[in-house]
Amino acid sequence: MVLSRTIDGRARAGLDRGVSTDAALSLPDAVLRPASGNAFEATVEQLATAIRLGVLRDGELLPPERMLAEQLGVSRNTLREAIAALRDHGLITTRRGRGGGSVVTYAGPDLDPAAASARPIRVGPALLDVLDFRRIVEPGAAALAASRTLAADQRAWLLEAMAEVSSAPDDSAHRLADARLHLAIATVAGSPMLIESVTRAQAALGELLAAIPVLRTNIAHSNDQHEAVVRAILAGDTRTARAAMEEHCDATAALLRGLIG
């Protein structure tokens, strides 16, 4: 775990607010991968996506440049330019001097109803493709996770990630915790390609969910569905894990199709 070893006391203080198992520390390792194509743009995209999905959490110190550049397969100069872009966008803050470094400063999306109504997203092929893509990859991830023999820390991670969603103090924190749970499920499934696909699905889904108001009833239903998925995974019940995640994806898709347009 390249990145896991770099999380110092300040980062752990952030993790203490939620998931704190050893398995949870592998999430950045699983999601961040060598950049392809245009190195600068790909690095900005990966780091920004990791921040917006809560993989790199608010208040957490980024790993040292050398280790992060190695993880992403880019030069340190390219990494510095990408970090500068994220800093200009308000996603991180950099402190200079001894004990300094770049710290994540993103606590979740703006879920204010007025702001959501101002985002003109319409139902169309792109939206439907996101929902179809998610319905294929996420139930598959849940079923694969259920087929694995999970270590004790992985099992604890899933339970704590699920609890973090249901106990999130506000809507923005709930969205980040929700994404982390889905990525945790993909991570324990053990397929790098699947992790990449779920990351893409969650990133696209986050943009869509930001365009609709937060509904208390939906969150309650979502939490129940999360519990059904996690319990099935821990029981090794692949069929139920897949079916429960399909139900969860279908419920979100129905809500989005009904409220966007």
Specify whether 152 is located in the same domain as 189: yes
Specify whether 100 is located in the same domain as 149: no
Percentage of residues in the chain having pLDDT higher than 90:
60
Specify whether 55 is located in the same domain as 172: no
Query: Left (φ > 0), alpha (ψ -120 to 50) or beta: where does 201 sit?
Result: alpha
CA distances from 38 to 1, 46, 50 (A): 25, 12, 18
pTM of the entire predicted model: 0.82
**6-25 pLDDT, tens digit each:** 333 333 333 344 444 566 65
**196-243 pLDDT, tens digit each:** 999 999 999 988 888 888 888 889 999 999 999 999 999 999 999 999
The 10 Å Cβ neighbour count of residue 56 is 28
Specify whether 130 is located in the same domain as 231: yes
d(C-alpha 167, C-alpha 95), whole Å? 31
Specify whether 128 is located in the same domain as 255: yes
Specify whether 87 is located in the same domain as 210: no
Using pLDDT thresholds of 50, 70 and 90, give the confidence band for residue 81: very high
Q: Which of 75, 104, 133 is the last residue of a domain?
A: 104
Q: Tell me which of 203 and 120 has the higher pLDDT.
A: 203
Specify whether 152 is located in the same domain as 66: no
Is 60 exceeded by the pLDDT of residue 4?
A: no
- pLDDT of the residue at 211: 80
Number of domains in the chain: 2
Q: Which of 48, 73, 104 is the last residue of a domain?
A: 104
Q: Which of 69, 104, 139 is the last residue of a domain?
A: 104
Specify whether 159 is located in the same domain as 254: yes
**Angle 11-224-165 (CA atoms, 0-180°, nearest 5)?**
15
CA dihedral 48, 2, 175, 14 (to 10 degrees): -110
Specify whether 137 is located in the same domain as 14: no
The CATH number of the domain where 169 resides is what?
1.20.120.530
- pLDDT of the residue at 177: 95
The CATH number of the domain where 99 resides is what?
1.10.10.10
- Residue 65 sits in which domain range? 4-104
